[in-house]
Structure 1
Amino acid sequence: MPVKKPNLTGRFKKGQSGNPKGRPKGSATAQSGSALDIIVNRTLTIRKAGEPQEVSVQEALQHQTYRKAIDGDKPSRREVLKMIRIREAYLHKQGQPTKLQASTRRMEPTDPDNANEAMLILGIASIDEVALEMDDHKPPLKLEPWAVQAALGRRRGGSKLTEKEIREIKRCTRDQDIIRWPRGTDQ
């Protein structure tokens, strides 16, 4: 049985549109946009300082991300820093000076609360939830194991750790069981 060749000549000549008038104006796809556009363009009513305020979904999400970043959520911090970099690049491209206000915060070596805050911000320590339940006026901290490990790794040629030092390190570390002790330490 002979094989038929397909008809390569179509109804329209090469370069000629099958719909010369195009899509009619006001068609459904042209009006609605993407699903994300529909959601982001909506407004929400939120309360700020007790007063109702209309904001876009995008603005509400940015505020929520900002609040989470302030509370210490690391992915939110990265997202806020990314927003700041994008804004700074845009302002630079527009020839506008950045409007960041310099803020100064003094950290006195004699104020342990400032040191605690710094360790929390840097991720060196975390709040000990168990001890917090017992004494809620001042959050107790536990050192992160990576920070303890880094400190132990920097000890050079010093004397051997005493039993008291080892107990103190264990007491102050969040997950003391994963610490690798230096050679010569009885652990």
Structure 2
Amino acid sequence: MTDDGSRDDSKAGYKKPPVATRFKKGQSGNPKGRPRGRHRHAPYEAVLGQLVTIREDGVERKVTAAEAFLLQLAKRGLKRDISAAQSAMTVIEEGKALRAANDPGLTEMIINLVSPGSVNTALEPLRMARKLDAYRDTARMALEPWIVEAALERLGERHLTREEQRIVLKATRTPWKVNWPDWWEERP
């Protein structure tokens, strides 16, 4: 305090910076500050855009991390993981909507998750066959009766040999439910 009772702001000391370097009222202490929008969002593009190597049936290939993640989600969904299936379908629908917005000519997106050389993974979702043991990845698949009937109708005049008939019979899940043609010799 000065002799007349007013404050002397010119003195510098503890918690009192010199008057010349003090911030003016209403002035920011960090004028440049943090750039707007920086560090607000997770770096999805940096992480999910990276290339990773995946192996399918012993064959390696490079895909983006996002694609590998979606493939894993779809694989879990096909193994009856409901939440994974819902998540995969949500991502697929979002992708469809995004593509439709960018390319109005696109009307449908088909994702085929069949491993090269194997159709087993496609037969179950199409309800053409069923795994005999749902909890084993390598379980034997058995054909549904309706698909056997449809295939036999397509043969027309051509008949299967007795050995081929045995193979079809063994591959059918419930052979007693099939309406076998008159020429069929092997019975369940």
Q: TM-score, normalised by structure 2?
A: 0.40
Q: Larger radius of gyration, structure 1 or 2?
A: 2
Q: TM-score, normalised by structure 1?
A: 0.40
